[in-house]
Amino acid sequence: MTTGKSSSEWIDIEKKYYAQTVRRQPVVIVRGEGARVWDADGKEYLDFVAGWAVNQLGHSHPAITQAIAEQAGTLLQTSNQFYTVPQLQLAEMLVENSCLDLVFFGNSGAEAVEGAMKLARRYGKLHRDGAYEIITAFNSFHGRTQATVAATGQPHYQENFAPLLPGFVHVDYNDVEGVMNATSDRTAAVMVEPVQGEAGVIIPDDDYLQRLRQWCDSQGILLILDEVQTGMGRLGSLFGYQEYEVEPDVMTLAKGLGYGVPIGAFLSKAHCQALVPGDHGSTFGGNALTTAAGYAGTKFLIENDIPGHVKQMEPYLLGRLNDVKDRFSFVTEVRGKGLLAAMDFDDAISGQVLANCNEAGLLLNGPRPNTIRFMPPLNTTPAEIDEAVGRLEEALAKI
């Protein structure tokens, strides 16, 4: 596909016209198919970023493109004063396949978390004598809006935007005693990620979520699981909580829920649904286009047991990455769950590794200066994993 300009010409245009808020890798992607993308110069890459754990079925999957094309020619946007069918089909599918009872759709992960936190505050007002605090974890990531930045336990996302929204207490991830000590009569909810994605794929202790669940039950506070990154099959079950045998009161979804279109959702159990008409809304939230894509993709995911495929690919991907670790002494650790994996180095070289990977034809992401992350499409194959690992080794050999 030709765009009339080279990658470097497009990058110059970006520097001139686009707000410089994101550190980008110098790759101008013009087309994608399955696990592969092509840049404006015609170079091919294996895409193990997948739109940031979004493209669960890869690029241009026929089930998604067909649903989008059909819906685009039928109905896009109506406002939520009216009912639309794809929104209700996706809502029914998510509820019938989860432990939650009710859904609200927004447009992004941050918006999903905002909704979940509004629900928690409303719940606190109704059932906990005005409790409003939410306990979250250090090194968490919950989004970039003012409220979700306050929830996020990473000072470098917060410092430039103080004063922060009050009502958040941070404790270490995996530290249940920390949560216990931080709980007071102001506490409305505890919110954590089943696996911390942006922190560099931090896997919880086996009993962490279960112990949090017990604590929340004993205190009458809500357990919110932010599954924006771990939901929709990423960890090897449709939802991450299923891997840890706990049921959240509230769950957020986004990223993988849209298969490439922007959508988010928060789901809740009936007992904690404290929001009433007028409390919350969204102009675009759950519109016919995004929910038609979400419905088609989720139907495909479930009918083809893509989470089961992820479970099979997990040991394969981790095995291959551990082979790499054995070959390069500066690789210190490999970890992951499902098709969310990370590799640590003994030094802050992830930027250099990513640049070398780009050259070798592999797209990855570096959540930490010494960590790179792998989040391929969920329907990736052993052959694609082999090819990606080959390109990774080529990149590491030049370090």
Ligand X SMILES: *Cc1c(COP(=O)(O)O)cnc(C)c1O
Whole-angstrom distance, CA of residue 55 vs CA of residue 378 = 8
Please, which residue, 198 or 344, has the CB nearer to ligand X?
198
Q: Is 113 in the site for ligand X (CB under 6 A)?
A: yes
DSSP 282-314: -SSTT-HHHHHHHHHHHHHHHHTTHHHHHHHHH
Q: Which residue's CB is nearer to ligand X, number 257 or number 395?
A: 257
Which residue's CB is nearer to ligand X, number 287 or number 356?
287
Asked if 228 interacts with ligand X (CB under 6 A), we say yes
Piece of the chain touching ligand X by CB under 6 A; list 10-18, 108-116, 354-362, 364-372: 108-116
- The residue among 178 and 367 lying less far from ligand X, judged by its C-beta, is 367
Nearer to ligand X, 39 or 198 (CB): 198
Sign of CA dihedral 99, 103, 109, 114: negative
Among the listed ranges 72-80, 104-112, 202-210, 381-389, the one in contact with ligand X (CB under 6 A) is 104-112
Q: Which is nearer to ligand X, 153 or 197 (CB)?
A: 197
229 touches ligand X (CB under 6 A): yes
Q: Count of residues binding ligand X (CB under 6 A)?
A: 15
- Pair 293, 259: CB distance under 8 Å: yes
Contacts of 67 (CB under 8 A, 6+ apart): 292, 293, 295, 296, 297
How far does Cα 191 stand from its chain's mean position?
15
Sequence-distant (6+) residues with CB within 8 A of 270 are 101, 102
CB 228, min distance to ligand X, A: 4
Q: Which residue is nearest to ligand X (CB)?
A: 109
Residue 115's Cβ-side half-sphere holds a number of Cα atoms within 13 Å equal to: 30
Rg of the chain in Å (alpha carbons)? 21
Residue 226 interacting with ligand X (CB under 6 A): yes
Interacting positions 128-187 with ligand X (CB under 6 A): 141-143
372 counts as binding ligand X under rule CB under 6 A: no
- State yes or no: residue 108 binds ligand X (CB under 6 A): yes
Distance CA 169, CA 118 (A): 16
Strand residue runs (E) in 185-310: 187-192, 222-226, 250-253, 264-268
- In terms of CB distance, is 263 or 396 closer to ligand X? 263
Looking up tokens 């279109």 gives: 261
How many helices (H) and strands (E) in the chain? 13, 15
State the minimum distance, in angstroms, from the CB of residue 6 to ligand X: 29
Under the criterion CB under 6 A, does residue 109 sit at the interface with ligand X?
Answer: yes
Q: Which of residues 179-198 bind ligand X (CB under 6 A)?
A: 193, 197-198
Q: Of the listed pieces 69-77, 107-115, 121-129, 280-288, which binds ligand X according to CB under 6 A?
A: 107-115
Helix (H, G, I), strand (E, B) or coil at 388: helix
Residue 113 CB, nearest distance to ligand X (Å)?
A: 5
Shortest Å, Cβ 230 to ligand X: 7
Q: State which of positions 278-297 bind ligand X (CB under 6 A).
A: none
CA distance 238 to 97: 8
Is 110 near ligand X (CB under 6 A)?
yes
Binding-site ranges for ligand X (CB under 6 A): 108-110, 113, 141-143, 193, 197-198, 226, 228-229, 254-255
